Structure 1
Amino acid sequence: MGEPVRVALRSLTLSDFRNYEALSVTFEAPLIALVGENGAGKTNLLEAVSLLTAGRGLRRAALDDLARRDAPRGWAVSARIDGSGGETRIGVGHAPGDPGRRIRIDGADARSSDMLLDYVRVLWLLPSMDGLFTGPAGDRRRFLDRLVLAIDPGHGRRVADLERTLRARNRLLDERGSDAFLDAVEAQLAPLAVAVSYARQETVTLLRARMASQARAGQPFPQADVALAGAFEDSAAGAAAGDLEDVYRDMLAAGRYRDRAAGRTLEGPHRSDLTVRHVAKDMPAALASTGEQKALLIGLVLAHAEVAAATAGLTPLLLLDEVAAHLDPERRRALFQRLETLGLQVMMTGTDPFLFTELPPGSAILKVANGTVSVYKMS
């Protein structure tokens, strides 16, 4: 496999997006630090970039909530991307009453957001993810599904179809639908469940191998070991896909009475969990210190960026919100060196510009203030 194509964001234009009435900014550097006071709009810029790919963006916000206050016409984000096809222009936006995002690629309407994955893939790490290892399993499933989507563009649609079919089964159970109707829905549900689980497991396997490789190479962040856990995965161990579909259909049929009483489907990949262990300390990540958990998460995200670049053939854009402030100087230097080695375009945020003074040559520090972005001049 050859080297992945380097993808870079060259310009970003916002119209009535969050706190920005109008903004147009260009980017030339591979590593970019956005600095400014809290509330200046640094994370809003990252959120705009996250909307250039499939999914709901890094905040998972309702589309109407992305519009600047008192902006009656909705919002728009446009970008110029350098990638495999040369320059690509991407536009996304939303107006009141629209059923979803409007997406245009080089001036043509896109049928779905999945088409954006052919041009740009965006990964992110946010302060809200600091409790990932100690929070509910649903948060870890969503995190894993984002990782899978950067590798497998069809995964988002499969997960959506799985959730829709689960709702249909739950509704039938609640309405005491006939066995024949339940048989039909469960026949649709089983292959979707197997496909979602297999895609997750493939990503987990790739991540484990990459993180082990990083550890052997002296990666500066602690090695995490990840696994997909749950009753469905236990049933899947060693089973062929076709056999597992039969096993899951039988499991669903046998569990109808119990599921009806519970008001939901109790078995399946929608109940699975991503488990993470601190390898050196041989302990669950949830029991590690807050600093260790942050370092484990950074190492995991960097490993995923490498996996995504290798499998997709495109380097992803990486968004790191307030990551430098939580690292000691040695780890901060190690992070910047690692980012330079990865060859990705990375956008970082922070309130203190001096956190970024050790960025490698060719990096950029930009000041965000009053709805504007400008080159930061160190005093």
Structure 2
Amino acid sequence: MSELYLSRLRLSHFRSHKKAVVECDAHPVAVFGPNGAGKTNILEAISLFSPGRGLRRASAEDMTRRPEALGWKLEGLLHCPGQSHEIDIRSQEGGARQVRIDDKAAPQTALARISRVLWLIPAMDRLWIEGAEGRRRFLDRMTLSFFPDHAEASLAYEKAMRERNRLLKDQVSDPHWYSALERQMAETGHRIHTARAEALTRLSAAQNAAETAFPTAVLELTQTEGSLPETEDDLREVLAESRFRDIAAGRTLVGPHRTDLYGVYQAKGVPARDCSTGEQKALLVSLILANARALVQDFGAPPILLLDEVAAHLDIARRASLYDEICALKTQAWMTGTEPGLFETFGARAQYLEVTETDGISEVSRRS
């Protein structure tokens, strides 16, 4: 089975889980139970074993169990190709998240060196019909899975842009205030765009090379306005030229933060935003599977997949095909559903966890 998986997960005062211990092997994990029992909270905990704010994009304070508000702690034994790591992630009384890898303090970005975690959650079902910001986050999560440095470039770009936007809002026109910031934005912005474009190339190749029941999406990077300059020098020049327009707007109007992801259902030639709800879900599943397949070659092992309520909008045939593809990938996929019948076609190929809730406290039990 997978060479990247969690064999142990401990949750303490995390969301609805006062205390929980999950032990499993590398096979897929089906998590079932009633709505509100705490299934998604388990997936959210696992999503924190990768850089970023997790699948809900919540603050550390929001993840602490109420009413105690003592802070929370996650512990995991993460198996990677050729090695394993003890991971400790915690937040004390709503403070910033702290990460330790093998009992040594580490930045969150260090998790990208040893782990790959992808997810698909119900909030993403409207990805194709809502704003560009959500599609950029989706694109950047996929890009980060290929290029761990993408997070650092994005943070540096955002920091420089915030400082430039502050100058714009203050109506500063002296070019000396802008040059250093625009130089950094051009350098990191070009890295961001290049990494995104390469990620789409790898995703397209992984989709086209696979025999799958899920539709292929043709993906393209577009800009909210105009086109993004191709080189670092060109981007720096465009930023300089757009200062007066940006001062009028009070914000930066050109750069990778204005990128959008445009998708087309290839077989039908229909934009993803115009597809049916089921087709849009199938396109998302297709991209997640393509990302996982591409990472097998790139990282040496398939990523951990988190698929929340994945059966929604998938018919029985596509659901069975998804489970077959998960097993073929040999990925540890964590999936949630309200009842075990949703995972019937997995049979003995998966392991099963039941989550129940009593008086606001979630409990996790192993089921055969």
* 2:32 is the counterpart of 1:39: no
Query: Contact 2:224/2:260 (CA < 8 Å) preserved in 1?
Result: no
The CA distance in 1 between the partners of 2:226 and 2:105, in whole Å, is: 39
% same residue: 41
Structure-1 separation of matches of 2:71 and 2:54 = 17
List aligned pairs for 1:352-367, cutoff 5 A: 352-367=339-354
CA contact (8 A) 2:2 2:330 kept: no
| Structure 2 residue corresponding to 1:209, chosen from 187, 205, 210 | 205
Which residue in the other structure is 2:51 paired with?
Answer: 54
Q: How does 1:11-26 map to 2 (within 5 A)?
A: 11-26=8-23
State yes or no: 1:253 paired with 2:243: no
| CA deviation after TM superposition for structure 1 residue 43, in Å | 0.1
Letter in 2 for 1:375: R
State the one-letter code of the partner of 1:141: R
* Residue 170, structure 1, aligned to residue 165, structure 2: yes
Name the counterpart of 1:333. Answer: 320
Deviation at 1:362, TM superposition (A): 3.2
Distance 2:184 2:83 in 1: 41
Shift of 1:167: 0.9
Give distance in 1, aligned partners of 2:157 and 2:57.
19
Deviates more, 1:344-353 or 1:363-372: 363-372
Alignment of 1:290-329 (within 5 A): 290-329=277-316
Instruction: State the Cα distance separating 1:375 from its structure 2 match.
Output: 2.5
Structure 1 residue matching 2:147: 3-state secondary structure:
coil
Quote the RMSD (CA, aligned, Å).
1.7
Q: CA deviation at 1:348?
A: 0.3
Which one of 4, 12, 16 corresponds to residue 7 of structure 1?
A: 4
Cα distance per residue 1:329-368 (max 9 Å; x no partner): 1111111111000110000000021111110533112111
Number of residue pairs aligned between Structure 1 and Structure 2:
363
| TM superposition shift of 1:118 | 2.4
CA shift digits 1:124-164 (9 cap, x unpaired): 00000000011101110011011111111110111111111
Mapped contact 1:29–1:362 kept (Cα < 8 A): no
Structure 1 CA distance, aligned partners of 2:37 and 2:348? 26
The corresponding residue for 1:190 is 186
TM-score, normalised via structure 2 length: 0.95
Query: Which position in structure 2 is the counterpart of 1:28?
Result: 25
What are structure 2's unaligned runs of at least 5 residues? none
Aligned to 1:181: 177
Query: Which residues in structure 2 correspond to 1:226-237 (within 5 Å)?
Result: 226-230=219-223, 234-236=227-229
Q: Which amino acid aligns with 1:350?
A: G
**Aligned pair in 2 of structure 1 residues 108, 172: CA closer, same or farther (>3 Å)?**
same
Q: What does residue 280 of structure 1 align with?
A: 267
Q: Deviations over 1:171-193 (max 9, x none)?
A: 11222332111122212211111
